[in-house]
Amino acid sequence: MLLTTNLMLLTTSLDFDDLSRILTTSLDFDDLSRILTTNLMLLTTSLDFDDLSRILTTSLDFDDLSRILTTNLMLLTTSLDFDDLSRILTTNLSFLFQFTMIQQDALESLVASFISTAAGHVIITAKLPPRTQALVDSCFPSQNQALTIYQWKHNKRPTRLQLLEMVKGANGILCMLTDKIDLELIEAAGPQLKIVSTMSVGYDHINITLLSSRNILVGNTPGVLTNATADIASLLVLTASRRAKEGLDAVVNRKWGSWDPNWLLGAEFTGKTLGIVGLGRIGAATAARLIPFGFSKILYSGSKPHSRTEQLLSNIAMAVSSFNNSYSPCDSSFSINFVPTDTLFSDSDVVVLCCALNDATHHLVNCSNISLFKHGAILVNPARGPIVNPEALLAGLCSGRIFAAGLDVTHIEPLTSDHPLALHPRCFILPHLGSATIQTREAMSDLALANLASGLLGKKLYHQVSA
């Protein structure tokens, strides 16, 4: 009450650092949200842009910021001029596309509490990236006799039988996306199993419904791999469109002859249509990276439209157009539309699959609809292999319906080197490297460990999957 009725006095009497500390360190989110949302007009008129932006974007996590922005968008748009509002929305684009990562000191404190007070048997099914592994190693030796930890540290992944034997008696499991968590494994572990934490954003390897019915918590690691996966998706679009696989083969196998004006001609994107199946965080970040290459239209499909993301991507297109026009006049038209997936397939020059794998998306690209694709389309899959029927893709490549494909995932992994898709000159395949950067893998393993420790300590998970 004191803060809300005297906010004008606070904003005019205190400098930003003092006000920020009062607003963000002394109040829980509900109180802060009430102050910000009921007094946003006062904040926007009493604080300059830099101060307001710092309060909104550096002190709140994504969900909190999103609630403030979306519930008060009318107030923001009437209280701020376009330049200030645009700077809040567009200069913090990377923030809007990420979840809050756990800070290292917070993780170290959590692990210390876990080592000293947690009870039970913990299984970690792989050696973790160095930073997180050092925290796991710090658990040994421990004075806490009630806690035991077993970690699989071999380079080769455990077999199914080894995994089933390993999890016996486990209270918590930190698993990889290659570990199938199903009824057989849950029964092998036993009724005391409390949490499964997967070091992945996807959880199609986990029977979520089964675990939920048995009150077993499931944690995952969304958001932290958005940028790395979007980078790989963009790489695949470029390598497929410019026939990089054939070019590399020409260099390595001495096929590079004299210059030929018709040799290895690829496709460019100016004025073309980009199709994104699933405009979630990775889909949106991929689109944001590809817009500067000249796409004039984006089509996207999924469970619902994303008007806020549409506006953010349109802002990027506007900035790119302004930059291009400063050098030479060009067509600056741009549109983004939510459409059915079949329409996306038929009208897009480049199709990027950024959806989750589930019953509805299994073989989303199949022998029945491959003929819907625009002739000469490029298909890219950085998501999950089984979203694409391999026979359908091969047929599309061989017929020319699909000009080229870029895959970071395949229906079976690892794909054998003699598979027809691996041998096709216009199918560029990477061995599931979407999240394979040092920073991303460390952030993923940090979150996976934090989820595991939180679950066993009876705390709220940083990211929990619900059925």
Please identify every residue annotated as catalytic: 432
Side chain identity, residue 126: A
Q: How far is CA 432 from CA 219, 232, 383, 385, 414, in A?
A: 21, 10, 9, 9, 9
Identify which of 258, 192, 245, 172 has the alpha carbon closest to the alpha carbon of residue 426.
Answer: 245
- The sign one gets for the Cα dihedral 438, 441, 442, 443 is positive
DSSP state of 297: E
Cβ neighbours for 394, distance < 8 A, ≥ 6 positions apart:
420, 421, 424
Identify which of 230, 238, 200, 298 has the alpha carbon closest to the alpha carbon of residue 94.
Answer: 230
Task: Looking at 224-371, list the stretches that DSSP marks H as alpha helix, in order from N- to C-terminal side.
Answer: 226-241, 244-252, 281-290, 307-325, 341-347
Cβ neighbours for 86, distance < 8 A, ≥ 6 positions apart:
315
DSSP state of 457: T
In total, the chain counts a number of residues equal to 467
How large is the angle between the packed helices 438-456 and 104-117, nearest 10 degrees?
40
Distance CA(164)–CA(51), nearest Å, equals: 54
350 φ, ψ (degrees, to nearest 5): -130, 130
Question: Could you tell me the strand order of the sheet in which 217-219 lies?
Answer: 147-151, 120-124, 172-175, 195-198, 217-219
Distance CA(13)–CA(389), nearest Å, equals: 64
Distance CA(188)–CA(366), nearest Å, equals: 36
